[in-house]
Structure 1
Amino acid sequence: MRFVFNPLYAAQRVFRPSRPDAVFDPLVRKLQLWRTLLGAAAWLALTFTYSAVASAQDVGAVASDRFGQSWDSVLVLACTFPVVVGSFAAAARGPVRRLYLRRALRSLGAVLALMAAMGSAVLVVAPETQGLRDVVGLPGKIAMGVMFLWALGFSVYGIGLSLVHVFRTADIHELVPPILATLLVWEMAVLDLVNGTYDQVPPAARLAFVMGAPVTVTALSVWEAYRLRRYHGMSVRRALRP
């Protein structure tokens, strides 16, 4: 029942890796957490420095833009995830391939759960559902409001956990998260540049902010892969052999 009533607990169960024999490197996990927190702090500083946030309406507009950006990230992930995991499994040999595909179901479930939660939160408050809100009356509106708050809490906390744990892809293999994280962050950087995200920011600061994320994530991913090989004997070649 706790899973049903507490969206934060539900997000922890859905987005945190849970494979018992997974390698856990405390130093790497701390750096991943700090990377996420510093990224959020940098975004807040950039937003309030260069955005005209003078009213609650402005705050709502900024929040809406960032929620839309998060939705774009999920859509990019939905396209990249099967390519990376499918390629990783296809390159494996023998029973290892089936093992990776079976493990991938939890990660796929995390992706679908986040998409469903974000879609539900948007749908509840969308103008297109105003007629439904009028029909269901006060009890229905209360139920929809509770649904919105639950989906919002699950989505926001789930996005944070997904950034740290890369949609629990360590459940597949420890080398999948750094590979997937590197591809995703470069895809999002290109998408931000193409879409003109943060166009109100001076070009030099915008370029530094947009490109800072892929550079730092790539460096961290390379270092994580090095530690897995150096201290835990894991490499791509060994991962793909039975």
Structure 2
Amino acid sequence: MEDPDVRRLQLWRTVLGIVAWVGLMVTYKAVVSADDVKAMADDRLDQSWSSVLVLVCTFPVVVGGFTAAARAGLRRVYLRRALRSFGAVVAIMASMGTSALAMAPESAGLRDAVGLPGKIAIGVLCLWSVGFALYGIGLSLVHVFRTADIHEVVPPVLAGVLVWEMALLDVVTGAYTQVPGAARAVFILGAPLTVTALSWWELRRLRRHHGLTIRNALGR
């Protein structure tokens, strides 16, 4: 089931989050040169990749808990549906691993052995893998690894858990140290509070417009 309003709001949530992050970096003079722009882009990519890695770790816990809490007749159905989401996880990890392995120093001998045509083929494969991975990272953060294929109530729950984990990770790693304390606290807490509100709204909309709740999803 696709709800265009929910999907649009999820996309806007992601876009506005990036805009707010760029605004914060510029406002507090984290960007003053071309090198800073590159560093900022690299930092944002690292954060997005970290989000995906946290999501990969959180995914089996939340989905496993959801499946275990469901009635026996539904567990097999949800586990079968989870294979699609698991496939999305494997595809992203494989695409990142392909480019990293192909360009690793340990693969220099293989690159030399295949000659120029082989190097061109490897280069094209790496470009495709990186592009696929970046596209997949974006989709995974917006659509939460297609977990709506398991059940429509799973994405808002998983997104809410993920965003609080990322906020905790920012606190532990000391992210945004160049930003004053009050602004840093607002920015770190802004994402989880906003996503939690969006997740609540999405669950409420699913209940009101489609009759879907966590309780009936579990067969309780």
**With structure 2 as the length reference, what TM-score do the two structures score?**
0.89
Q: Determine whether 1:177 maps to 2:177.
A: no
Asked if structure 2 preserves the Cα contact closer than 8 Å seen for 1:124 and 1:148, the reply is yes
User: 2:213 matched to which residue of 1?
Assistant: 235
Match of residue 86, structure 2, among 88, 108, 111: 108
Aligned AA (1:51): A
Match of residue 73, structure 1, among 32, 35, 51: 51
Give ranges in structure 1 of 5+ residues lacking alignment. Answer: 1-21
Cα deviation for residue 115 of structure 1 reads: 1.5
Whose RCO is larger (CA < 8 A, sep 6+)?
Answer: 1
Residues 116/95 of structure 1: CA separation in 2 closer, same or farther (3 Å cut) = same
Q: Determine whether 1:153 maps to 2:131.
A: yes
Aligned AA (2:132): F
Cα deviation for residue 47 of structure 1 reads: 3.3
Cα deviation for residue 237 of structure 1 reads: 1.6
Residues 200/144 of structure 1: CA separation in 2 closer, same or farther (3 Å cut) = farther
State the percentage of identical aligned residues: 66
Residues 95/188 of structure 1: CA separation in 2 closer, same or farther (3 Å cut) = same
Asked if structure 1 preserves the Cα contact closer than 8 Å seen for 2:31 and 2:40, the reply is no
Distance 2:181 2:11 in 1: 28
CA RMSD after TM alignment: 2.1
User: 1:27 matched to which residue of 2?
Assistant: 5
Residues 199/144 of structure 1: CA separation in 2 closer, same or farther (3 Å cut) = farther
Indicate the SS of the match to 1:167: coil
Asked if structure 2 preserves the Cα contact closer than 8 Å seen for 1:198 and 1:206, the reply is yes
Aligned AA (1:220): L
Indicate the SS of the match to 1:76: helix
Distance 1:126 1:64 in 2: 19
Aligned AA (1:138): L
Q: Determine whether 1:213 maps to 2:213.
A: no
User: 1:92 matched to which residue of 2?
Assistant: 70
Aligned AA (2:53): L
Residues 196/137 of structure 1: CA separation in 2 closer, same or farther (3 Å cut) = farther
Asked if structure 1 preserves the Cα contact closer than 8 Å seen for 2:31 and 2:37, the reply is no
User: 1:6 matched to which residue of 2?
Assistant: none
Asked if structure 2 preserves the Cα contact closer than 8 Å seen for 1:121 and 1:151, the reply is yes
Asked if structure 2 preserves the Cα contact closer than 8 Å seen for 1:74 and 1:115, the reply is no
Asked if structure 2 preserves the Cα contact closer than 8 Å seen for 1:71 and 1:118, the reply is no
Cα deviation for residue 154 of structure 1 reads: 1.1
Cα deviation for residue 207 of structure 1 reads: 2.0
Q: Determine whether 1:51 maps to 2:30.
A: yes
Residues 205/161 of structure 1: CA separation in 2 closer, same or farther (3 Å cut) = same
User: 2:178 matched to which residue of 1?
Assistant: 200
Cα deviation for residue 153 of structure 1 reads: 1.4
Asked if structure 1 preserves the Cα contact closer than 8 Å seen for 2:156 and 2:200, the reply is yes
Can you list the C-alpha shifts for 1:84-129, whole angstroms capped at 9, x where unaligned? 1111111111321100000000001111111222233334444554
Indicate the SS of the match to 1:61: helix
Match of residue 166, structure 1, among 144, 147, 156: 144
Q: Determine whether 1:119 maps to 2:119.
A: no
Cα deviation for residue 71 of structure 1 reads: 2.6
Residues 238/31 of structure 1: CA separation in 2 closer, same or farther (3 Å cut) = same
Cα deviation for residue 197 of structure 1 reads: 2.1
Aligned AA (1:237): R
User: 1:36 matched to which residue of 2?
Assistant: 14
